[in-house]
Amino acid sequence: MPKLRKWTAYRSLEPAYTRRSKFRKKAYIKVNPQRGVVRFIMGDQSPKVFKFSLYLRSAKDLQLRNFAIEAGRQCGNRILEKEAGKLGYRMQVRVFPHHVIRENPLASGAGADRMSTGMAHSFGKPIGLAARVLEGAVICQVDVDEKNLELAKQSLKRFSSKLPGKCYIDVIDNVRKAKL
C-alpha cells in the first residue's frame, strides 16, 4: 500500500470541483474510493432516551480523512463497549466522508525529469475520501446515563486524539432539556 501524505496536504476546505456524472466518460472522477468508516452507529440502537448527550465538536474548519474517523471510532468505541457493555451507551459518528481527495504524484530521484509528466494534466487521481467539517460542527455524539458520564468523556477525548485539529466536548442534560 502506498504511503499516506500528511494531513497538512488536505486540511484546508478548498472549493471542490469533483464532478460526478451519470455518464462515466463525462465525469472527472471515474472511480469512487472506498468509504473506510465501517459503522456509524454503535451500542444500544433502540429508541431509549439516555440522560446525557455528549458532543465532540470541531474547534475550526477542516477536512477529516476517513482513516482518522475510523481510527477514532474504533478507539472510542472500544472503551465504551468494554466498560459500559453493549447496551449501556449509544455512539454515533455524525460526519460522513464524501469529498474525494486527489493527488498528482510526481516522480523523484535520479532520472525523474524524463519520467515525470509534471503539471500537464494535474487534476490528480482519487486517493481517498474526507469529511468536510465546519467550526462547531458535531463530529461524534455519545448518549449515556449518569454512571457512565466520565467514561464517555474519556472515550470522546480518546476519539479526538486520533483526529487532526482541535476538538472540544459539550455535555447536555437531556432530562433538564425535556422539562423546559
Which pLDDT tens digits describe the chain residue by residue (180 residues)? 567 777 777 777 776 666 666 777 777 777 778 888 889 999 999 988 999 999 999 999 998 999 999 999 999 999 999 999 999 999 999 999 988 888 777 666 666 555 555 666 667 778 888 899 999 999 999 999 999 999 999 999 999 999 988 999 999 998 777 665
Does residue 112 lie in a domain region?
no
Grid coordinates representing 125 are 487521481
> What is the domain range of residue 128?
30-101+124-179
State the Rg of the chain over Cα.
20
**Closest C-alpha among 144, 119, 121 to residue 49:** 144
**pLDDT at 103 (0 to 100):** 78
Q: How many domains does the chain divide into?
A: 1
Q: What is the DSSP string of the chain?
A: -PPPPPGGGT-S-PPP-----SSTTT-S--SPPP-----SEEE--SSPPPSEEEEEEESS-EEEEHHHHHHHHHHHHHHHHHHH-TTSEEEEE-----EEEEE-----STTHHHH--TTTTTT-EEEEEEEEE-TT-EEEEEEE-GGGHHHHHHHHHHHHHTSSS-EEEEEEEHHHHHH-
pLDDT tens, residue by residue, 36-87: 888 999 999 998 899 999 999 999 999 899 999 999 999 999 999 999 999 9
Does residue 163 lie in a domain region?
yes
Does residue 89 lie in a domain region?
yes
Does residue 106 lie in a domain region?
no
Q: Are 6 and 73 in contact (CB under 8 A)?
A: no
**pLDDT at 179 (0 to 100):** 63
Does residue 83 lie in a domain region?
yes
Does residue 153 lie in a domain region?
yes
**pLDDT at 109 (0 to 100):** 65
| Separation of alpha carbons 151 and 40, rounded Å | 20
Does residue 13 lie in a domain region?
no
Report the CATH number at residue 133.
3.90.1170.10
Cα separation values, 163 from 47, 56, 137, 154, 157, Å: 29, 11, 14, 15, 10
**pLDDT at 11 (0 to 100):** 73
**pLDDT at 143 (0 to 100):** 95
Q: Is 169 left (phi over 0), alpha (psi -120 to 50) or beta?
A: beta
| Separation of alpha carbons 163 and 67, rounded Å | 9
How would you classify the pairing of strands 99-103 and 138-144? unpaired
